[in-house]
């Protein structure tokens, strides 16, 4: 049986098949119940449950690595992930109540949006490290853990520098006008 408090979670993140099988056996019922609570017709529960498990193990278990036992129990966290995944999938599949399969692909096309111009601010407003962190967060779409690993600093330091950089930018540009 899968033990979330011990090394089983670490083994799961390392990609050990036995840990994954135990994880699926233990939490499949919970995920099915969470997904059923979100679906209206119940017809696509199996597909949605599959999406939840795919999301959990996608990109080297990236989402699962974000689980923090200090913030919530694993069952609570999995329920939230399952419900969110199911809602997102349902939104993607339906456009105003119409099944996604019956909508022409051209109707789903979205024009590419490029920024008109990059934000311009005085060069000395932010430190080089703050600029680097903002670039990694917003331009390269890296998460805090990835940035911390790349820069060989603590994740909390990344969050703190991000917060301080945003404070400086807000102070420089003033309040947002509606």
Same domain, 87 and 137: no
Percentage, residues of the chain above pLDDT 70: 77
* Position 105 pLDDT exceeds 80: no
Residue 34 CB burial class (10 angstroms; 0-12, 13-18, ≥19): buried
Task: Please tell me the predicted confidence (pLDDT) of residue 149.
Answer: 94
Q: Among the ranges 112-116, 160-164, 170-174, which has the highest mean pLDDT value?
A: 160-164
Q: Look at residue 2 and tell me if it is in a domain.
A: no
pLDDT in tens, 78-103: 999 999 888 887 777 665 566 666 66
Domain boundary among 102, 137, 158: 102
User: How many CA atoms does the CB half-sphere of 56 hold within 13 Å?
Assistant: 28
Same domain, 32 and 71: yes
Task: Please tell me the predicted confidence (pLDDT) of residue 147.
Answer: 93
Vertex 168 angle, CA 138 and 149, to 5°: 40
* CB 39 within 8 Å of CB 56: no
Domain CATH number, residue 22: 1.10.1740.10
pLDDT in tens, 142-169: 889 999 999 999 999 999 999 999 999 8
pTM, full prediction: 0.50
Task: Please tell me the predicted confidence (pLDDT) of residue 112.
Answer: 60
Task: Please tell me the predicted confidence (pLDDT) of residue 36.
Answer: 87
Q: Look at residue 76 and tell me if it is in a domain.
A: yes
Same domain, 151 and 78: no
Please name the residues in contact with 38: beta carbons below 8 A apart, sequence gap of 6 or more.
48, 83, 86, 87, 90
Task: Tell me the average pLDDT across 94-113.
Answer: 62
> Is residue 12 very low, low, confident or very high in pLDDT (cuts 50, 70, 90)?
confident
Greatest CA separation for the chain: 57
What are 56's two structure tokens? 């959990």
User: How many CA atoms does the CB half-sphere of 28 hold within 13 Å?
Assistant: 10
* CB 79 within 8 Å of CB 30: yes
Q: Is 36 left (phi over 0), alpha (psi -120 to 50) or beta?
A: alpha
Within 66-153, where are the H helices?
74-93, 105-108, 128-134, 144-151
Task: Please tell me the predicted confidence (pLDDT) of residue 1.
Answer: 47
> Is residue 69 very low, low, confident or very high in pLDDT (cuts 50, 70, 90)?
confident
d(CA 130, CA 90): 38
Residues spanned by the domain of 149: 128-173
Question: CB under 8 Å, gap of 24 or more: what pairs does 116-120 form?
Answer: 119/169
Q: Look at residue 51 and tell me if it is in a domain.
A: yes
Q: Please tell me which residue, 129 or 59, carries the higher pLDDT value.
A: 129
């Amino acid at each position: 049986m899968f033990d979330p408090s011990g090394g089983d979670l670490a083994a799961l993140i390392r990609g050990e098949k036995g840990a994954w099988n135990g994880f699926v056996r233990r939490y499949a019922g919970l995920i099915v119940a969470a997904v059923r609570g979100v679906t209206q017709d119940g017809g696509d529960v199996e597909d949605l449950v599959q999406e939840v498990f795919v999301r959990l193990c996608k990109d080297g278990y990236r989402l699962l690595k974000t689980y923090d036992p200090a913030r919530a129990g694993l069952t609570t966290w999995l329920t939230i992930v399952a419900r969110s995944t199911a809602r997102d999938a349902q939104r993607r599949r339906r456009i105003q109540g119409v099944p996604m399969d019956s909508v022409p692909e051209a109707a789903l096309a979205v024009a590419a949006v490029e920024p008109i111009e990059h934000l311009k601010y005085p060069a000395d407003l932010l430190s080089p490290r703050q600029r680097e962190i903002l670039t990694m967060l917003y331009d390269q779409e890296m998460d805090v853990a990835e940035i911390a690993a790349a820069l060989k600093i603590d994740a909390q330091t990344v969050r703190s520098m991000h917060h301080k950089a945003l404070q400086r930018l807000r102070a420089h540009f003033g309040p947002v006008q509606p």
